[in-house]
Chain A
Amino acid sequence: MASLHGQRVVRQEDRALLTRGGTYVADVADPLLDGAAHVTFVRSTMAHARITGIDVEGVRTAPGVVGVFTAADLGLGFAPMAVPVLPPAMARPWLAGEVVRFVGEPIVVILTERRDQGEDAAEQAIIDYEPLPVVAHPEDARNDEVLLFPDHGSNTAAVFGDEGDASEFADCEVVVRERLVNQRVAVAPLEVRSTAAAVGADGRLNVWMSTQAPQSARHAITRAFGWELDSVRLIAPDVGGGFGAKIGPYPEEMLVAWLVRHLGRPLRWLETRSENMVAMGHGRGQIQHITIGGGRDGVVLAYRLDILQDSGAYPSMGAFLPYMTRVMAAGVYAIPNVACHATSVVTNTMTTVAYRGAGRPEATAAIERAMDLFAAEIGMSPAEVRRRNLIDVASFPHTTPTGAVYDIGDYRRALDLVLDAAGYDELLAEQASRRASGAVRQIGIGLALYVEITAGPTAGKESARVEIRPDGRAMVFTGTSPHGQGHETSWAMIASDVLGIGLDDIEVIHGDTDLVPRGMGTMGSRSLQLGGSAVLEASEQVLDLARRVAAELLGVGVDDVVLDHDAGVFRQAHDAVGGASVSWQQVAVAAAGEGGSLAAGADFQASTPTYPFGAHVAVVELDSETGLVTLDRFIAVDDAGRVLNPLIAEGQRHGGIAQGAAQALCEEMVYDDDANPLTTTFADYTFISACELPSFELVAMETPTPVNPLGAKGVGESGTIGSTPAVQNAVVDALSPWGVRHLDMPATPQRVWRAIAAGHDLSSRQGT
Chain B
Amino acid sequence: MDLSLSVNGESQTHDIEPRTLLVHYLREQCGLTGTNVGCDTSSCGACTVHLDGRAVKSCTMLALQAEGCEVTTIEGLAAPNGTLHPMQEAFRAHHGLQCGFCTPGMVMAAVSLLDESPNPTETDVRHGLEGNLCRCTGYHNIIQAVLAVSRESS
Interface of A with B (CB < 8 Å)?
Answer: 10-11, 13-15, 17-24, 26-27, 29, 116, 188-192, 238-241, 243, 272-274, 483-486, 647-648, 650-651, 654-655, 658-659, 662, 681-683, 687-691, 693, 695-696
Contact = CB atoms under 8 A, between A and B. Distances in A.
A647 B44 CA distance: 26
9 contacts: A14-B91, A19-B84, A21-B74, A241-B99, A654-B137, A682-B39, A690-B143, A691-B129, A695-B140
B135 A243 contact: yes
Given A18-B74, A190-B102, A654 B139 contact: yes
A658 B44 contact: no
A238 B100 contact: yes
A689 B130 contact: yes
Interface string B20-55: 000000000001011111111101101000000000
Given A10-B92, A19-B78, A190-B46, A651 B98 contact: yes
The 10 closest A-B pairs by CB, nearest first: A21-B34, A240-B101, A484-B99, A682-B43, A484-B98, A17-B100, A27-B33, A683-B41, A658-B137, A690-B139
A15 B132 CA distance: 20
A682 B141 contact: no
Interface in B52-105: 74-75, 77-78, 82, 84, 88, 91-93, 95, 97-104
Contact of A696 (B77, B78, B140): B140
Given A11-B95, A273-B39, A190 B134 contact: yes
B133 interface: yes
B102 to A, nearest CB: 5
B144 to A, nearest CB: 8
Given A659-B135, A689-B129, 7 more contacts: A19-B34, A241-B99, A484-B98, A484-B100, A650-B95, A654-B137, A659-B137
Interface of B: 17, 19, 31, 33-41, 43-44, 46, 74-75, 77-78, 82, 84, 88, 91-93, 95, 97-104, 107, 122-123, 125-127, 129-144
Given A243-B135, A690-B129, A693-B139, A681 B39 contact: yes
A240 B137 CA distance: 12
A10 B95 contact: yes
A654 B141 CA distance: 8
Contact of B36 (A116, A240, A654): A240
Contacts of B91: 14, 18
B103 A18 contact: yes
Nearest to B73: A21
Nearest to B99: A484
B33 A658 contact: no
A191 B38 contact: yes
Given A18-B92, A682-B43, A26 B136 contact: no
Nearest to A685: B43
B112 to A, nearest CB: 15
A102 to B, nearest CB: 20
B35 A21 contact: yes
Most B CB within 10 A of own CB, among A21, A116, A648: A21
A241 B95 contact: no
Given A22-B100, A690-B129, A695-B140, A189 B33 contact: no
Contacts of A689: 129-133, 139
B133 A695 contact: no
Given A10-B95, A190-B44, A655 B137 contact: yes
A687 B92 contact: no
A690 B139 CA distance: 6
B11 to A, nearest CB: 21
Nearest to B140: A654
A718 to B, nearest CB: 15
B138 A655 contact: yes
Contacts of B40: 272-274, 681
Nearest to A270: B37
A484 B36 contact: no
A15 B104 CA distance: 12
Nearest to A272: B40
Nearest to A696: B140
B53 to A, nearest CB: 20
B92 A483 contact: no
B122 A695 contact: yes
Most A CB within 10 A of own CB, among B46, B129, B138, B140: B140
Contacts of A191: 36, 38, 99, 101
A688 B102 CA distance: 14
Contacts of B31: 29
A228 to B, nearest CB: 32
A687 B133 contact: yes
A191 B135 CA distance: 10
B142 to A, nearest CB: 7
B70 to A, nearest CB: 19
A238 to B, nearest CB: 6
B7 to A, nearest CB: 14
Contacts of A19: 34, 74-75, 77-78, 82, 84, 88
Contacts of A23: 33
Given A651-B141, A655-B138, A689-B130, A273 B103 contact: no
B145 to A, nearest CB: 11
Contact of B126 (A18, A21, A691): A691
Most A CB within 10 A of own CB, among B34, B101, B143: B101
Contacts of B88: 18-19
Contacts of B129: 689-691
A649 to B, nearest CB: 10
A92 to B, nearest CB: 25
A11 B130 contact: no
A274 B130 CA distance: 21
A205 B39 CA distance: 30
A14 B88 CA distance: 9
Nearest to B38: A190
Most A CB within 10 A of own CB, among B33, B82, B123, B130: B33
Contacts of B82: 19
Contact of B84 (A18, A21, A651, A655): A18
Contacts of A662: 137
Given A190-B135, A689-B130, A21 B100 contact: yes
A687 B133 CA distance: 8
Contacts of A273: 38-41, 44
Contacts of A687: 43-44, 133, 135
A274 B134 CA distance: 18
A651 B138 contact: yes
Contacts of A18: 74, 84, 88, 91-92, 97, 100, 103-104, 107
A691 B99 CA distance: 21
A688 B137 contact: yes
Nearest to A23: B33
A328 B39 CA distance: 35
B17 to A, nearest CB: 8
Contacts of A651: 95, 98, 136, 138, 141
Contacts of A29: 31, 33
B104 A655 contact: no
A20 B74 contact: yes
A14 B92 contact: yes
A218 B95 CA distance: 32
A691 B130 contact: yes
A11 B93 CA distance: 8
Nearest to A188: B135
B141 A11 contact: no
A604 to B, nearest CB: 24
Contact of A20 (B75, B92, B126, B142): B75
B118 to A, nearest CB: 19
Contact of A682 (B75, B126, B133): B133
Most A CB within 10 A of own CB, among B78, B107, B138: B138
